[in-house]
Structure 1
Amino acid sequence: MNEIIEYILGKENLLLAIFTIVFTVVYSFSVIHLLGKIKTRRLERKKVFINTFIKGISDNTIANSTDLLNIYSGITKLSPEDLTNRQDLNKWLRETLARLINKEVGQDLAQDKVIEIKDKITNFIKENETTNPYADLPDTERNIINDLSAFNKLGDQNSINRKLGELSSVIITRYEQQKKIENLNKWSIPLAIIGMVLTIIFGVLSII
């Protein structure tokens, strides 16, 4: 009877070990595949945006910020609410400018057209920053700085000092969080690899 129970338990351990190995491997590959697809899709969208933008500016089909936002929204599938923060759009515009200067795009354009496109990119970025000041900052910092600007216009020194204290606290908190994330990231990948290897090793040993 004991031998039968031990045999059954041995089979259960074997199945559990096999399941653990298969699950770990499948999960790891699924995550890697998903992250790869997300990155590839974003790179493809950015490539389409840059090419469309260069062509649109060249043939004057992109005449103003409204045209630019419509194209950006159409490519990224963002809703009008998501377009209020134009941080990513400005990043793509700056990358377009860098590629244009390095002749990675628009190689067939005349020099005067290149200069025209560079000027329009600069103007679009300035307009976005004027419409959404401090767009590159996180929400908390951006709101505090907007409040500081408003209080500065009112000459409210007490409120300015209070907001400066809030900003200082936020910066310190961000710095501490960043250090924690850096320390975690330093060990997360090696530990994940070690964990997967140990899981496979113990699974194989349990089978043997």
Structure 2
Amino acid sequence: MQNIDIILTLLTVLAAFLGLLAMLRILLKLRRPNVKLNTDFFEQLDKKFDLRLVNNKEDITTLADSFRREHLATYELTRLLEDYLRYLINKASNSEGDIKQSYVDRHQKANQILKEEKEEKPYDELPIEERRIFRAINSSVKTGEKEDVLNSLEDLRILISTKSKIYQQSNTINKFSIPLAVIGLILTIYFGIKSLPKENAEQVTTTTNNVDSTKSEIKDTLNTSK
């Protein structure tokens, strides 16, 4: 019977520990921008430039659409191009001769396409609701409808206020979720050990020490990611 209690306790500790790691992985993924998606797009676009397949905006748009479908991403073309320009600057600064010039030429081409995209689709990089309001303001300004501009500005004020509250609440939840998860794990281990007969408690001491060590590593990882 005592052996069964030990096994159940160890399984409980293991389940709690794995649950904590899974949650931390999700939280860390939310904290860190997923740069791999952009890198994939940049590399594919570089290949098109190498093959001289980029002549106009449609050549990049086709690649961006395929990229978004493959990665289930919602990045707008303007955002991708802006990040690509920064990528090209870094590449050019670390290159010399013809290779450096090729990145400079690509930067000029991509920058021209970005300007065309922004002229054709102003505010396209904004979320849907913000985009709608800014387009309404732009249209009202052109037609001289002062009252409509004021109404749109009020809509924008309400939207910003609402999203700010949601962000603050989300940030508060994330701030306390990790400490609470660690505390929960510690309590699970503690009461699990307390429930064992005294002569068998030492058998799980090693597990506790390992968890404490892992907790320190998790804390270091979180501090590094900030």
For the superposition of Structure 1 and Structure 2, which TM-score range results when normalised by the shorter chain? Answer: 0.7 to 0.9
Corresponding letter in the other structure for 1:55: K
* Equivalenced residues, count: 195
Corresponding letter in the other structure for 1:50: F
List per-residue Cα deviations over 1:42-80 (Å, max 9, x = no partner): 54443232122123224321222222122223334359x
Structure 1 residue runs of 5 or longer lacking an equivalent are 1-6
Q: 1:54 aligns with which of 23, 46, 51?
A: 46
1:97 is matched with 85
Deviation at 1:160, TM superposition (A): 1.4
TM-score by length of 2: 0.67
Corresponding letter in the other structure for 2:81: L
List per-residue Cα deviations over 1:143-185 (Å, max 9, x = no partner): 1111111222222222211111111111222222222233332
Q: 2:102 aligns with which of 113, 118, 129?
A: 113
Corresponding letter in the other structure for 2:56: N
1:140 is matched with 129
Q: 2:18 aligns with which of 17, 20, 26?
A: 26
List per-residue Cα deviations over 1:68-112 (Å, max 9, x = no partner): 122223334359xx88x653x433332322232123788364444
Give the stretch that moved more between structures: 166-175 or 64-73. Answer: 64-73
* Distance change >3 Å, CA 96–CA 12, structure 1 → 2: same
Contact 1:86 1:128 in 2 (8 A): no
Rounded Cα–Cα distance in structure 1 between residues aligned with 2:187 and 2:29: 28
1:180 is matched with 169
TM-score by length of 1: 0.72
Q: 2:181 aligns with which of 192, 195, 205?
A: 192
Structure 2 residue runs of 5 or longer lacking an equivalent are 198-226
Rounded Cα–Cα distance in structure 2 between residues aligned with 1:200 and 1:135: 51
* Distance change >3 Å, CA 171–CA 48, structure 1 → 2: closer
Superposed CA RMSD in Å reads 3.6
2:67 is matched with 75
Rounded Cα–Cα distance in structure 2 between residues aligned with 1:34 and 1:178: 18
2:204 is matched with none
State the identity as a percent.
Answer: 24
